[in-house]
Chain A
Amino acid sequence: MGLARRIAIVGVGETRYERRAARDLASLRCEASRAALADAGLAAAAVDGLIVPGSGYAELHELARDLGMRGQFHAASCFHSGTAVVAAPLEAALAIEGGLAHTVLCCQGVAWGSERRGNVGQPHAEMRMKAAFEIPFGWYPQVVHFAGMARRHMELYGTTEAQLGAVAVACRRHAALHDNAILATEPLELDGYLASPYLAEPFRSADCCLVNDGAGAFVMTSLERARELRADPVVVLGVGCGVVPDGEYSSLREDYLATAAVHSAPRAFAMAGIEPADVDFVALYDNFTALVIQQLEDMGFCARGEGGPFVEGGRIELGGALPVNPSGGQLAQAFVFSVNHVVETVRQLRGDAGARQVADAEVGVVTGYTGAQHATLVLGRG
């Protein structure tokens, strides 16, 4: 299809991930962006496209000014929070192919560790139907929404707590191999997981993503230009977005357990001309352990209901058949709306992942998720 293999990622950067940073979000975004540009060997003046999901109008222009961009730039955005970063290569490819930009920088940061308004459920508390019909009945915040899906999955398919735990343990083991993972020095094994107290049953704290500060960024340009910039560009083989047709309220979805990955993954795989069996590793949006299992099913790595057994026995760990979230992911490295997953996937495909390196990694898949939205990105070694 038209946009496959047209653009590449030529630079990635991250801040330190910390539970609380001593700096504000603008500073974190700026540092990650500068690191990504330095990694690409590009000056800020080369950037003429910006995707900064979650930023307000003023923040977007302050970042451009702070980075030293002085020319005209195209500002693209469409999908929200967890989906936006993973959909960004689609936006960038459209902008680059359409002649709106040559070089697009995507930056995502969060400062929920230190700057969050209210609790993590605040955006949901501001939705009026949830404020009227869900929160007064205890159906809040996100941990409850996703624990409800996990319980339904357990009831329908016999999924077990140990299978949820297998996802948490895999991420924690991977984080232990990373020098920029918040839980790198807090090991977790299945016995300890099962012995830990419930938070919102069936979830324990190890089933939930981190709340932290940090930012990541990556630079995209045409494949031709990418090859001039570096020997190992990471090529966008395919990217797809999807939405759940029946709306934001997960409590009311007709297919309660299906994420929009059922739409985004086939699009991305078709664009890339691959099948799930061709994928060497995946970096799946992991706000909660159960969503990893749901996505493995929705994306066709296994059938509906088989995600629980699929994650057992080390299959999703480094060295297993399908390593999942080799950086430790948002459960054990940092929660930054999947930008860490993009950065890690690029490093894996360059062969720069050190102790976490997936052997012979040629094709990696990243996902982003926001309730009714989902994006799947297929990246390949240049």
Chain B
Amino acid sequence: MSGVADVAERHLPDPAWSVARPFWEGCRAGELRIPRCDRCGRWVWYPAPLCPDCGGEHHVWTATAGRATLFTWVTVRRAFLPGYRAPYVTALVALAEDPRVRLATFLRDIPTRGLRAGMPVELLFETVSEHLTLPAFRCVG
């Protein structure tokens, strides 16, 4: 990922936005936390007021194992925003706990033999500033 010098220009999330704040707190603590309905256990992603399965209103930010599979990806050859250095690979990965939970992520450690849907990927964290840590995924195996 780009260095700290780029941070002022990059589009970064607002870690104080109340809806997403527990996610960023989890990242700073080294955990990928996703809200989970405490009534039926459904992972509720993106965060939403009601569980799409049971309508439950109480969701608990719950740590995941950080394992996922590659769902799809795009190799961006021209950066569309300031602060991103092309080329980069941005991807959707499907979490092992529930593949309906897909996360957009930068993809690291791209194997020379190329990418395939379904490849295993694993979580890492990249520190942007003292207030913000972003999750990313890297190819494994």
Classify the secondary structure of B's interface with A. Answer: loop
Q: In whole Å, how far is A200's beta carbon from the nearest beta carbon of chain B? A: 5
Determine whether A70 belongs to the interface, using a CB cutoff of 8 Å to chain B.
no
Encoded as 1 (CB less than 8 Å from any B CB) or 0, chain A from 107 to 136 comes to 000000000000101000100110111111
Q: Is the CB of A137 within 8 A of B74?
A: no
Contact of B46 among A136, A156, A252 (CB under 8 A): A252
**CB neighbors of B among A146-205 (8 A):** 147-149, 151-152, 155-156, 197-201
**A144–B90 CB distance below 8 A:** yes
> Besides A132-B17, A133-B20, A201-B74, 4 other CB < 8 A contacts?
A132-B14, A137-B90, A137-B105, A251-B92
Q: Is the CB of B80 within 8 A of A143?
A: yes
- In order of increasing CB-CB distance, the 3 nearest A-B pairs are A138-B90, A139-B104, A155-B117
**Which residues of chain B (73-105) have a CB below 8 Å from chain A?**
73-78, 80-81, 84, 88, 90, 92, 100, 102-105
| Residue A301 at the chain B interface, CB threshold 8 Å | no
B90–A139 CB distance below 8 A: yes
Contacts of B17 in A (CB 8 A): 128, 132
B77, B100, B136: the one contacting A201 at CB < 8 Å is B77
CA distance A147 to B11 in the complex (A): 21
| Complex Cα spacing A132 to B80, Å | 17
8 Å CB contact of A138 from B12, B14, B19, B76: B76
Of the four ranges (under 10, 10 to 19, 20 to 34, 35 or more), the interface on chain B belongs to: 35 or more
Chain B minimum-CB-distance residue to A156: B117
A224 to B102 alpha-carbon distance, docked (Å):
52
Interface residue B71 (Cβ < 8 Å from any Cβ of A): yes
Q: How far is the CB of A22 from chain B (nearest CB, A)?
A: 28
Interfacial residues of chain B within 45-72, with CB under 8 A of chain A in the complex: 45-47, 52, 71-72
Q: Residue A252 contacts which of B12, B19, B45, B74 (CB distance < 8 angstroms)?
A: B45
Residue of A nearest to B104 (CB): A139
Q: Which residues of B contact A73 (CB under 8 A)?
A: none
Q: Is B106 an interface residue (CB 8 A)?
A: yes
Query: How far, in Å, is B90 (CB) from chain A's closest CB?
Result: 3
Query: Within the complex, which residue of B19, B46, B74, B81 is in contact with A151, where a contact is CB–CB below 8 Å?
Result: B74
Q: Report A's interface with B, CB cutoff 8 A.
A: 119, 121, 125, 128-129, 131-141, 143-144, 147-149, 151-152, 155-156, 197-201, 246, 249, 251-252, 254, 256
Q: Is B11's CB under 8 angstroms from A201's CB?
A: no
B residues in contact with A140, CB < 8 Å:
11, 80-81
A143 contact set on B, CB distance < 8 A:
80
Whether B72 and A128, one on each chain, are in contact in the complex, defined by CB atoms closer than 8 angstroms, is no
Most buried by A among B81, B92, B102, B116: B92
Residues of A close to B100: CB separation below 8 A: 252, 254
**Minimal beta-carbon separation of B89 from chain A (angstroms):** 8
**A residues within 8 A CB of B136?**
137
* B46 pairs with A138, CB closer than 8 A: no
> How distant is A66 from chain B, measured CB to nearest CB, in Å?
36
* Interface flag for B13 (CB, 8 Å): yes
Is B10 positioned at the interface, with any CB of A under 8 Å from its CB?
yes
Taking the closest CB of chain B, its distance from the CB of A110, in whole angstroms, is 20
Which residue in chain A gives the minimum CB-CB distance to B47?
A129
Partner of B104, one of A125, A152, A201, A251: A251
Contact of B13 among A131, A156, A251, A252 (CB under 8 A): A131
Q: Would you call B92 and A201 a contact (CB within 8 A)?
A: no
CB pair A148–B72 under 8 Å, yes or no, is yes
Q: Mark B7-47, 1 if CB is under 8 A from A, else 0.
A: 00011111001011001000000000000000000000111
Are B84 and A152 closer than 8 Å at their CB atoms?
Answer: no
Cβ–Cβ contact B72 & A152, under 8 A: yes
**Cross-chain pairs A/B with CB under 8 angstroms, 25 sampled:** A119-B80, A128-B17, A128-B19, A129-B47, A132-B14, A132-B20, A135-B81, A136-B134, A137-B90, A138-B76, A138-B84, A139-B104, A152-B72, A155-B116, A155-B117, A199-B77, A199-B78, A200-B74, A200-B75, A200-B77, A201-B76, A251-B92, A251-B102, A252-B46, A252-B100
Return the chain B residue nearest A149 by Cβ.
B72
Given known contacts A125-B11, A138-B104, A198-B77, A133 and B46 CB-to-CB distance under 8 angstroms: yes
Question: Which residues of the partner chain B approach A251 to less than 8 Å between Cβ atoms?
Answer: 92, 102, 104
The one of A119, A147, A156, A256 that contacts B74, using a Cβ cutoff of 8 Å: A147
B-side contacts of A256, CB under 8 Å: 71-72
- Let me know if B75 and A139 touch, CB within 8 A: no
- Could you say which residues of chain B place their CB within 8 Å of the CB of A135? 11, 81
> How many whole Å from A290's CB to the nearest CB in chain B?
12
Contact A148 B20 (CB under 8 A): no
Nearest residue (CB) in B for A246 is B52
Do the beta carbons of A155 and B72 come within 8 Å of each other? yes
User: What residue of chain B has the Cβ atom nearest to residue A125's Cβ?
Assistant: B11
